[in-house]
Each structure stands twice: as C-alpha cells, then as structure tokens.
Amino acid sequence: MAELFAGVGGFRLGLEGHPKSEKNTGFKVVFSNQWEPPSSTQKNPPKQWASMIYELRFGKDGHVNEDIENIRNDVPNHDLLVGGFPCQDYSVARTISGELGIEGEKGKLWTSIRHIIENNQPKMILLENVPRLLTSPSKKKGLNFAKIGADLLNLGYDFEWRVINAGDYGMPQRRRRVFIIAYHSKITPMKNFNQMRTANAVSWLTNTGPFATNFPIHSSSNEEIVCADWPGIDIIDEDKFTNKQSPFKKAGLCFCDEGGKMLSFNPQPIKEPVSPLKKQLLDSDDERYNQDYLVTNRLDYWDYVKGQRKEFRIRRKDQSWAENININAGTHGNLWSLYRYYMEDITRWKNLTSSHKVIFEEHLGTNHGVYRYSEGKIGRDDVNRPSRTIVTAEIGKSPARSRHLFEYQGVIRRLQPIECERLNQFPDDWTNVEGITDSRRGFLMGNALVIGVIERLRGSIKKLIIQ
C-alpha cells in the first residue's frame, strides 16, 4: 500500500491498523508521503508537524517528507494507492468567488497522483475529498470531477464514488466526504457491466459493492438511478458544464466499456444509532481536563457570531472609495469610518440604527461598494448529537462561527485537542508531541478523516485485491 498526502496517518490506521497492534489486517504500507508547503505569505516551508507525528508513530521506513512533485517517480510498486488529496481548492470553507478547483495550487496535485497511477498501475485506488469536488467549479459545475474521471478511464480504471456522512453510520462526527474507489482493468468487478441497466451494475452500486455493503442504503434510492455517458474522455467539452447543476450525483459508478458509461443517483442511507458528542468529551474530573477551554467571557459575542446575521460589508480594495464618501453620521464623517465602527465589535450590527442602515443601502454596489452579508444560525452544539465537522481552525480562544461551543456538565466550553482526535476516531493523544500547540493539533484533526469509514471498507478492499 502507498499512502499519499498521509497527514498523521488516518488511512494507515484504518487499513493497516495501530502500529502496536498484533493483529494482521493484511495491509502493509511500503511508501508514504506527507509535505506541508509554505502558504502564500511564507517564504520557507512551515514546520512539518504532520510528518513528524507520522514518523514518530509508524517509524521512518518508507516515509518521505518532500514535495510530491519531486518524488513522484520514486514510488515503489504497490497494490493499493490511497490518499486524501488536498481539498482547499474545492472546500466549502473557501468562498465560491475564491474557489480554484483543479486549477488551484492544491487542486493541481491531482496531476502528481495521475502520474503515479500511470507509472505504478496499482490494482486499486482509494481517494477521499470534500463533496464539493463533485460540483466545482461554481460556473461549470462538475467539470473538475469530469476531468479526474476521464483521467482514470484513460488509465484503464473503472471507478465508483459515494458521499458518506460518517455520522449517519454510528460515528461521532457528521463529516461528509466523497470517497472514490478505482479498479484496474485486470481485476475490475465491472467487466460484465457493459449493459448499463443490467442487474449486475445496479446491484453492485446498491447492494453488493464495497460502499453498498458497508454503508447500506434504502432500496427506494434505486428508482432514481440515472444512466448516461461520462461527459468526455479524450476531449471534454467544457461548454456543456454550466452553473445550474452538476451531472454527478452523490453516488455513482463508471466503467471504460463503450467509451465510459455511468450510473449516478442520490442514495438514502439506512441510518444507524447515533454516537453523541458527549460520549467523546472529557469529564471534569479527568486529569487531562483543561479549565482554559471553559468560556466565561463574551458569551454574547460567541452567540452572535454563531447566530443568524444580517450585516453590510465593504471590500478592503474599496477602502479608498469609502473614505471619500462623505456622510452625516455623528462622529463618522465618511462611510469607511462608519463601517469600521461596526466591524470593531460586530455585535454592534445587532443594534444597527435605521439611519445608518439607509446610508449603507444607498451605496450598495455589484462589483464594488457596499454589499449585503448574511449567515444562517448555527447556535451552540447539541452534545446529544454527533459533532459538526471539525475544521482546521477548530481550536482557538477567539469566538468563531465554525468552532464548537457547547454546554456539558454545567459549564459552557470548547473542544480540547484530545476530543478532536476522538471525533475522528484516532487514539487519544495521537498528535500530542513535544512542542506542538493545541491549535496545531486542532489543525491536523481538521485535515484528517474519520478512521471508522476506512476500517469498514478494509475487508471489502482486501477481498477484491486478493481475488
């Protein structure tokens, strides 16, 4: 097995198992790669915390901490290629106006994956990404996934995909991710699926395939299966992709025969008993419990940023324009001054005066000027439900909409690093190494996957490779 974009080893834990376990799962990692590149504001690469943790837990044998672009010809032969290739250019954490998709710096890493697949021809491939991969970019929905699928077909791989919410299947986090399994033509179970409406194809997708077997769905979903050609293999007509609807639903399969045939549908999961957030939380008498995570100040601020919001915004590039808009608003002589007054403490938007509202509305613009900003309510987290998705900015003291805030054992507090690990089903203190900050541990878990999803797929993947 080769693990790309390994992070702190989620795929490896799910397939090979814990390094101290005596159980032989049948999987062995022969190559792993993890590299954190510098951000747009950094001249040098950051400290390689994820790679350091990976080596500390699994050892250095076969692990490479270099840019994948530089080592993509050095990957040894393997039966299974796995990886959660970076998703920032597809993620809902990025605004639609800022999405870059497969053309973004991290989206371009698909090129390296494709190169490794072409060189090594693994029997199977297991990839993970955010669901938005199926619908990006916003102006040509589905184009990015169409290109990835076309690459797989051209390399001789049939493949299937499925959006899985871990919380639907008894796991403690409502983390939705799209998983892709690809099969080399030598072992593909789809070689007899050349007639799209045959019972074999539908049954594989809904009953007998690895996704359907390990993540059951209601049979009523079968009635909505759409049959179509893959939207281009050698040449993809980008004009066929619009901002209306992606051709790819939440689950599907595609195989090389007849130029790339596709089944696609939106499955309805057979939900399993809930694993609530509270079962993953440290009790107050636990020696690892940290009082610093209690929230006693600015609860009004927390509740505001996590509540329904209707505000106005002015882009930074329009600051000079706003400074030259003279207004009559007490101590505020120009529009920028008034705007900064509200942004210095955003809870002030709750008490936006009618006269100030009129001023902002008078200067609404499309490409520049004032624009409306609104968000729906998230509120405090219910500890009786699986947690929301952990994000990379999960741990920090300042109030933030995406961070968890909940009441447990009579106090209101935030998630601790060990609880983030538990919500992804990592061993306790997996990321707790000397010198690391709590915020960095939260960042690593925000980039990780829910290990239980991979564990469930392990048996099916092993069986297919052996057969």
Q: Contact at 8 Å (CB) between 394 and 287?
A: no
Contact 4, 18 (CB under 8 A): no
How far is Cα 22 from Cα 406, in angstroms, rounded to an integer? 38
Beta carbons within 8 Å of 262's beta carbon, 6+ residues apart: 227, 228, 229, 230, 252, 253, 254
In angstroms, rounded to a whole number, what is the distance separating the alpha carbons of residues 265 and 255? 16
Does the active-site annotation cover 87? Answer: yes
Distance between CA 300 and CA 351 in Å, rounded? 13
- What is the SS3 assignment for 188? coil
- H-run or E-run covering 153: helix 143-154
Contact 83, 180 (CB under 8 A): no
What 3-state class would DSSP assign to 200? helix
Angle at 202 between CA 193 and CA 190, to 5 degrees: 30
Q: Can you read off the two tokens belonging to residue 101? A: 């998709």
b/e burial code for range 287-324 (CB count within 10 A of at least 16 → b):
eebeeebebeeeeeebebbbeebebbebeeebeebbee
Contact (Cβ atoms closer than 8 angstroms) between residue 373 and residue 309: yes
Distance between CA 393 and CA 382 in Å, rounded? 20
Q: What is the rounded CA–CA span in Å between residue 111 and residue 357?
A: 49
Tell me which of 87, 254, 256, 420 is the catalytic residue. 87
d(CA 188, CA 78): 17
User: Running DSSP on this structure, what letter comes out for residue 387?
Assistant: B
Give the whole-angstrom CA distance, residue 350 versus residue 305. 11
Measured at the CA of 129, the angle between CA 255 and CA 91, to 5 degrees, comes to 130
Contact 383, 407 (CB under 8 A): yes
Compute φ and ψ for 288, nearest 5 degrees. Answer: -90, -5
Q: Outline where DSSP puts E strands in 11-145.
A: 31-33, 63-64, 80-83, 124-129
Residues carrying an active site annotation: 87
